[in-house]
A and B are shown apart, each in its own frame.
Chain A
Amino acid sequence: MDFPLLLAIIATPALGAVVVALLPADRPEIAKALGYVFTAATAGLCLYLLWHFQAGDARFQFVYDKPWIPGLGVRFTLGVDGISLFMVVVTGLLFPLGLLASEKYITHRVKAYVAWFLLLEMAIMGIFLTLDLIAFFIFWELLLVPMFFLILGWGSENRRYAAMKFFIYTGVGSALLLASTLVLGFLHQADTGVLTFDYRALAEWNGLTGTAEVLLFLGFMAAFAIKAPLFPFHTWLPDVHTEAPTAGSVVLAGVIIKMGAYGFVRFSFELFPQASVDLAPLLLVLAVIGILYGAIVAAMQTDLKRVIAYSSVAHMGFVILGIFSLTVIGIDGAVFTMVSHPLTTGALFLLVGMIYERLHTREIGEMGGMWNSVPVLTGLFIVAMFAGIGLPGFSGFIGEFLSLAGAFLYDRPYAIVATFGVIFAAVYMLWPFKRAFAGKASGAVAAMKDLSVRELVVVVPLLLASLFIGIYPKPVLDRIEPASERAVLNFERKTDYRSPEDSLDRRKTLREVERAEKAEAKRAAGEAAHGEGEK
């Protein structure tokens, strides 16, 4: 362990936040510049991570481990695998763009904005990188604070309601997550005598009985389902999206709502395999409802941001569908969607933000004819829109396709119903698009200015990235695959669930992975015990 890369990825934005917070308030340009420096540096570290990540290795890489809260055996354990890798990279790339998008929009209290924004990045990085459950929770909860202040300080009219709703609604989920985590840790301690919250050690432990496992699963699910957001826990999302500043929406749609899905794959699966298998139908039903329901309700919205917000509900439905298909394909697809959705929806939110900056409204009824006045914006919107709809060639399709295919393998009815979501996807995007962009331009719309170079620089890379991994997803999938294979193997090892993907050649690697996992868990447990002893 030469250079603590993952620590650096978390620490850089944190350092940035502190430095920016200490600046004098009357020099917004320095704050801004430092914001770019620190987000860009983080992005650079993320790319370095991406470059040096070993594809095909199912284990955690770049592991960093230090004791943190001794009383509870909490350790500051960082590690990255195929599932978290891309979330980290996407986060790293989204933040400089988000800042760039805020350039015009944020005119007051710039310093505070940049500081909160950097803190937000740190929290998100922490969430995706920690392997210790308590540390995970710490970042999970910490995230709410910068988000709260970003909405409150720079949101739209109804921001107080939205900020409160976001904090408290998702807080309820987190509370149950914390309770379940603690109970899990202590049950483990009661059984094995070792108090650790290292999730690898807990995953290796098989002492949970039926009801306890289900209840703990539900506790974790509360947090993840609300954050995801799974139907019927989704109503915070549109409110928050509408009120949040553009960059906040981008990050929210891009990364934050992925954390729910991430939590399911990372934690629920490994910690509660039997409950995951048993409750998969429930999750699948909710996911399918979410896909259709989110799409239908999205089509009814009159606020452009709400349309995209509800579309996120539908998209996350696909993600959950893929995850709980309990197949390698499905999980591949879900994680891929988690990578792709930030790009497309991020672009859409950015574009809506740009429209809002020009028209000062998000009401579709007050638009109309923008195709005429702002063709470049419209063009990009079309691209982003179709990428979001799931047009093959863009990244969204790959994820959706694999998720559905996985669900189809698991149990056909879910996939068949969910596939009809692709129709509604077209409806909810094209209908508002028609109303907002087609037609005759008049009044304020006619006077709109087209995108500046800065705005192009913000949006175009996202769409290009989406296009690139839509055409050549192999590098991404290759890195995701070992992790999702691991997840499925985990089920086969611990439960009597058997993946329908019989033709896989993964069974031959079964023993290999098992051995590696055992060694890993042993090491983690040993370290935890060691950590207990050293104080």
Chain B
Amino acid sequence: MIPFLFFVAAAATLAGGLGVVLARNPVHSALFLVMTLVSVAVLFLIQDAELVAAVQVIVYASAIVVLFLFVIMLLGVDRQESMRDRIPYQRPAAIALGVILLAQLLWLAGHEWVTGQETASGVPIEGGGFGGNVERVARVLFTDYMWAFEITAVLLVIAVVGAVVLARRSGQKGEPVDDVDEAATEGVDA
């Protein structure tokens, strides 16, 4: 069961990933992203990470992707993107680098990836009487990583303030400053 699930989810994950990269329409990319995210959530589930899987679906697949789609629609950029690349050698170089990077990462495949000490935090994934997955996560979250958890609060404040500052319609005086010759750069191959 598990190998089957894994391969299906893995295939979906990669397909989604490739879809994000290859789809010419941003909306399609976003939908492929959902596919990947949900597949990853499945992969979480089969690794006994129930809580994370749930959060992945709720926060990521729902909230974040919806945000993406919202912005795409708001800005009206749901158009086919030209696949021609303006930057010389960028695409072949990127693909070559990707291949090398993957090769480097996969070099490890023949070796042991995991070498660390087990249960460093003292809370294993199963057993040991620490309760269910949620409880275990909470246990570590509120003890060992309490400080990081508090930082997330700051981070969210920042996100709110930043988004407000940037997206606010006005508040800054004066006309736009023509510091860039827009005609020269705009619509080269829009």
Please say whether the chains A and B touch (CB closer than 8 A). no
Q: Which residues of A pack against B, CB within 8 Å?
A: none
Query: Residues of B with Cβ closer than 8 Å to A?
Result: none
